[in-house]
Amino acid sequence: MNNELRLILAIQKNGRLADDSRVLLERCGIDLLKSKDQLVCKAQNFPLDVYFVRVNDIPTFVAAKVCHIGILGQNVLLDKQINSSNSQLDSIEAIMKLGFGRCRLSIAVPNSHDYQGLSDLQGKRIASSYRGILSQYLGKRGVSAEIVSMQGAVEIAPRMGMAEAICDLVSTGSTLAVNGLKEVEIVLESQSILIRNDTLNSVQEELLDRLMLRLNGLQAAKTRKYIMLHCPINKLEAIKAILPGSESPTILALQGLENLVAVHAVCDEGVFWNTMEDLKANGASSITVLPIEKMLD
């Protein structure tokens, strides 16, 4: 098969982003063979090859042009860009937020610390795996602290007397709570992103456009709902005004019912119980709200 005609994507092999990345591809209609140990997989029904790698290697793979695109956390890209002297990393572009893997890189201190602000950290030791991002954050705020580099289990550092604070990724905060720590500063908000390099030929650019159209279609569908209802013709304007974020609903005649019409609309915003109650109070009946799986505008 001609590689010039295929797009190459790197995703995480195992870990927090791995399943969501695979599911996202599946929802884009891209079938991958399911073997867990495989490092490279050719999609069956889209000209896409997928490399399964460690998430921290994805920026390097994309910068080295081994892959054209990648899915990873914003924190991972920023960390690589700050820490590495490889100028090719700077040419990587984040082209889409994907909405999963949401987390924060946060500073936390022991619950007993009566934290007043960043100046409390002046001259203190902060344990972290994110030396680059943290030192940039502290430097910009004029705080000078010693960063104790650790590769994992950062949250035990205060208990072991190795540091007065930590800086680590947090999503629910339960790991911090279990270790008697409280979150006091958010250094970075992160989620998964799609990144690309600048080496795609025109065929690959077209494939990336197709992939992004599908991803956008999934994102649009996530926030939108399809609503169907019946209403008296003389209440139509009132009903249209209540439908959240819907521009031009479809109005259909109902056989044998001359004074009633069916209204079908795609709503941009959530349709909540109180919206449905408002619709009912204004004469609507048979109100049905359906999720939308995919959308192409």
Interaction of residue 15 with ligand ATP, rule CB under 6 A = yes
Question: Per DSSP, which regions of the chain are E strands?
Answer: 7-12, 40-42, 48-53, 69-73, 93-97, 103-110, 125-128, 146-149, 165-170, 181-190, 192-196, 225-232, 250-254, 257-267, 285-291
Pick from 21, 60, 75, 275: which binds ligand ATP (CB under 6 A)? 75
Interaction of residue 16 with ligand ATP, rule CB under 6 A = yes
Range in contact with ligand ATP (rule: CB under 6 A) among 40-48, 49-57, 240-248, 289-297: 49-57
Pick from 9, 17, 63, 121: which binds ligand ATP (CB under 6 A)? 17
In the shown chain, the binding pattern of residues 177 to 206 toward ligand ATP, with x for contact by CB under 6 A and - for none, equals -------------x----------------
Which residues on adjacent β-strands are paired with residue 291? Answer: 225
CA-to-CA separations, 146 to 115, 121, 143, 217, 221, in angstroms, rounded: 18, 9, 10, 46, 46
The 8-class DSSP code of residue 295 comes to -
CB-based closest residue to ligand ATP: 73
* Nearer to ligand ATP (CB atom), residue 188 or residue 265: 188
Residue 9 CB burial class (10 angstroms; 0-12, 13-18, ≥19): buried
Interaction of residue 73 with ligand ATP, rule CB under 6 A = yes
End-to-end CA distance of the chain: 33
> Phi and psi dihedrals of 25, rounded to 5?
-65, -40
Range in contact with ligand ATP (rule: CB under 6 A) among 28-36, 42-50, 54-62, 201-209: 54-62
Range in contact with ligand ATP (rule: CB under 6 A) among 72-80, 130-138, 181-189, 232-240: 72-80
Contact positions vs ligand ATP (CB under 6 A): 12, 15-17, 54-56, 73, 75-76, 101, 103, 169-171, 190
